[in-house]
């Protein structure tokens, strides 16, 4: 083969490789942007790492959650004070109440987790817990024998948490001594509390000594970062929580 022809063939081959490399980069970039958008704005996953939600949910259960990042970006007046979750929903609560996370933080977090196969992140400085929403903003609540009684804002009557819930669920009521001190954080009784306009009350289904709003107090609405849509593992219990 003449030298000039070899040179032309080599140049054409290099050009083809560069073109192929650019297409690979473009496809990777589109996949990456799609992944970030999906996991930041739409869906996320979570695993239950404790027995706090027994008997309905068990340790090791894995869930697909809807993300509330988009909700947090919408001006409150546009929402007419409606919540993206309802009574009885299982939600993911970020307990770093005093350190709100910006939209840019979520984007950066998604990128770090993407390149580290979900092993490294920086946002969750405090643990995130799966809990059940019991009280909504403006509710007047009391607790007797580990069951909440609720008077919704604007209502004249009080109902049990089960009567108001949009979902059916069971709770584990611990057996405690008759003289159990009601001032103990994990007590099953508490005096009347009125939730603020941006506060919710979340509880574990296991009402024994598990952390929830009995120890944290009411949680800000914007600390609820997702709602469990369905359990995808184990397959034998696939379905809505």
> What confidence tens digit (pLDDT) does each residue in 79-104 have?
555 678 899 999 999 887 656 555 56
- Whether 236 shows a pLDDT value over 60: the answer reads yes
Residue ranges making up the domain that contains 158: 3-237
Over residues 49-68, the mean pLDDT reads 88
Residues comprising the chain, all counted: 241
Over residues 175-196, the mean pLDDT reads 76
pLDDT at position 189: 84
Q: b/e map of 219-240 (b: 16 or more CB within 10 Å)? A: bebebbbbbbeebeeeeeeeee
CATH number, position 95: 2.10.109.10
Task: Provide the 8-state DSSP code for 173.
Answer: P
How many domains does one find in the chain?
1
pTM (2 d.p.): 0.74
Peptide bond into 234 cis (omega under 30): yes
> What confidence tens digit (pLDDT) does each residue in 152-161 have?
988 999 999 9
pLDDT at position 190: 86
> What confidence tens digit (pLDDT) does each residue in 142-175 have?
998 899 999 998 899 999 999 999 899 999 888 7
Q: Kindly list the strands in the beta sheet with 190-194, ordered across the sheet, starting from the edge strand earlier in the chain.
A: 159-160, 147-151, 140-144, 190-194
Q: What is the mean pLDDT of the chain?
A: 80
pLDDT at position 171: 92
The pLDDT-based confidence of 137 (bands split at 50, 70, 90) is: very high
Classified as helix, coil or strand, 58 is coil
pLDDT at position 206: 92
CB atoms within 10 A of CB 50: 16
pLDDT at position 180: 62
Q: How far apart, in whole angstroms, are the C-alpha atoms of residue 208 and residue 117?
A: 35
């Amino acid at each position: 083969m003449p030298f000039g022809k070899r040179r032309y063939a080599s140049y054409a081959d290099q050009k083809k490789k560069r073109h192929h490399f650019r297409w690979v980069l473009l496809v990777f970039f589109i996949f990456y942007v799609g992944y970030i958008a999906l996991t930041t704005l739409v869906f996320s996953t979570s695993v239950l790492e404790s027995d706090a939600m027994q008997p309905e949910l068990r340790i090791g259960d894995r869930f697909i959650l809807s993300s509330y990042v988009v909700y947090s970006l919408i001006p409150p007046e546009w929402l007419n004070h409606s919540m993206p979750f309802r009574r009885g929903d299982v939600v993911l609560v970020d307990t770093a109440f005093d350190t709100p996370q910006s939209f840019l933080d979520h984007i950066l977090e998604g990128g770090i987790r993407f390149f580290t196969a979900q092993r490294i992140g920086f946002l969750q400085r405090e643990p995130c817990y799966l809990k059940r929403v019991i009280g909504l903003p403006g509710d007047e609540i009391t607790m007797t024998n580990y069951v909440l009684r609720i008077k919704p804002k604007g209502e004249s009557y009080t109902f049990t948490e089960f009567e108001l819930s949009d979902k059916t669920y069971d709770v584990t009521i611990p057996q405690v001594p008759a003289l159990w001190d009601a001032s103990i954080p994990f007590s099953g009784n508490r005096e009347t509390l009125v939730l603020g306009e941006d506060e919710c009350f979340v509880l574990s289904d296991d009402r024994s000594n598990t952390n929830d709003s009995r120890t944290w107090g009411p949680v800000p609405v914007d600390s609820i970062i997702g709602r469990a849509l369905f359990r995808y593992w184990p397959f034998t219990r696939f379905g809505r929580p």
